[in-house]
Amino acid sequence: MQLVATEEQEELRAALRRFFAERSAGAEVRRLMASGDGYDPKVWELMAGQLGLQGMAVPEEYGGAGFGVRELGVVFEEMGRALVCSPYLATVMAAAALSASSDEDAKRDLLPGIASGEVIATLAWSEDGRWGLDDVAMQATRHEDGWQLTGTKSYVLDGHLADLLLIAARLNGQVALFAVDGNAPGLSRHSLPTLDQTRKLARLDLANVPARPVADRAALARALDVGLVALAAEQAGGAQRVLDMTVEYLKVRKQFGRPIGGFQAVKHRCADMFVQVESARSAVLHAALVADESPGELPAAAALAKSYCSDAYFHVAGEGIQLHGGIGFTWEHDAHLYFKRAKSSQELFGSPDEHRRRLARLVGISADDAQAVSP
């Protein structure tokens, strides 16, 4: 496996950092998090037209660029670093499910619109806050020549505005994925209050909503693991930014006539933060490489990355607030935005403990041994 970033990946990172520095500055993040939609349609268009982000991992035959999870990891690191408010994670996960599907008609019909940025898509599988596929209880029912869905999905990423909803339900006893139009009759959407206002979640209520089966359980499982890796990359990027902000502050804040960054106790805390950030990045890199080159090992690698990066980001974000002193607790400073993102993403798609238990089952060790994954 190639562990060193290629020149193209480093160029991508540099371009993304410039783009998000201009389009996702602190004032813009605060404006968007207070808005109803939670994203800027003009920036979304630029992401598609100027950078080609929405189609990055979509196969070329369906209008995408055909890149892998490694490149997606670079994108999500930079988005996490800039706290980008965007339905990108939701759309990438939906595209991953369709790309892994064996339904060629669904791919031809749905992927080009996602790749071009014309369609915002999302996955909806959680019911009552349970994230496991075995917990999916919604049943698809036959209606004339098609299918209908009735029930509720919770904590749906950007479900309040998605044009295309890919909803998990049971078909003949097996979990499958159904495509639902965002304007379908019988569908109602409700925005949910969130700790992290930079990421919008919704509840979907369905009453005999027409739906089309587009993917099986295996495709959905692949998409969820890709989503875990993407979220872990975002967490690693956010943790890196918190560390950078904290170090910059410690260099200029003086006490007793010297920068507080020179005090030994402060140095030790920064060193611990650095170790966790670098370890998180290593976990993400490993999971992304596995996703592209050894997909059979992806479930374990994704569980490891999500569990470790979730705790590492939360710890680093908390330390960042503490080391900033009084200013770190103010609304005006960005530290609390990263802390809220860290806490909410820690629980999104399942808690670290849930993924450590999953990892234990996958590799055949005890849950106590898997707990060692915790930073």
One domain for residues 111 and 128:
no
What span, in angstroms and rounded, lies between the C-alpha atoms of 279 and 284? Answer: 9
What span, in angstroms and rounded, lies between the C-alpha atoms of 115 and 110? Answer: 9
What span, in angstroms and rounded, lies between the C-alpha atoms of 296 and 45? Answer: 35
Q: Which residues form the domain of 251?
A: 222-373
Residue 5: the pLDDT is 66
Residue 205: the pLDDT is 97
| 198, two tokens | 């930079």
The answer to whether residue 201 is domain-embedded is yes
Residue carrying structure tokens 């707990």: 371
* DSSP letter, residue 5: P
* CB atoms closer than 10 angstroms to residue 41: 11
One domain for residues 136 and 241:
no
pLDDT tier at 2, thresholds 50, 70, 90:
very low
Q: Which residue has the higher pLDDT, 262 or 311?
A: 311
One domain for residues 308 and 327:
yes
What span, in angstroms and rounded, lies between the C-alpha atoms of 297 and 309? Answer: 18
CATH code (residue 346) = 1.20.140.10
Q: Helices (H) and strands (E) in the chain — how many of each?
A: 12, 9
One domain for residues 21 and 136:
no
pLDDT tier at 258, thresholds 50, 70, 90:
confident
Residue 1: the pLDDT is 43
One domain for residues 248 and 192:
no
Overall domain count for the chain: 3
One domain for residues 235 and 367:
yes
Secondary structure (DSSP) of 308-342: HHHHHHHHHHHHHHHHTGGGGGSSSSTHHHHHHHH
Rounded mean pLDDT of 18-47? 95
Domain termination residue (choose one: 186, 219, 252): 219
One domain for residues 262 and 176:
no
One domain for residues 227 and 212:
no
CATH code (residue 60) = 1.10.540.10
Q: Is 99 exposed, middle or buried (0-12, 13-18, 19+ CB in 10 A)?
A: buried
The answer to whether residue 148 is domain-embedded is yes
Q: Which residue has the higher pLDDT, 55 or 327?
A: 55
One domain for residues 238 and 281:
yes
The answer to whether residue 2 is domain-embedded is no
One domain for residues 319 and 212:
no
Least trusted range by pLDDT, from 54-58, 60-64, 261-265: 261-265
The answer to whether residue 1 is domain-embedded is no
One domain for residues 269 and 167:
no
Domain termination residue (choose one: 62, 85, 116): 116
One domain for residues 172 and 183:
yes
The pLDDT tens digits for 62-103 are 999 999 999 999 999 999 999 999 999 999 999 999 999 999
The pLDDT tens digits for 267-291 are 899 999 999 999 999 999 999 999 9
Domain termination residue (choose one: 191, 219, 247): 219
Percent of the chain with pLDDT over 70: 94
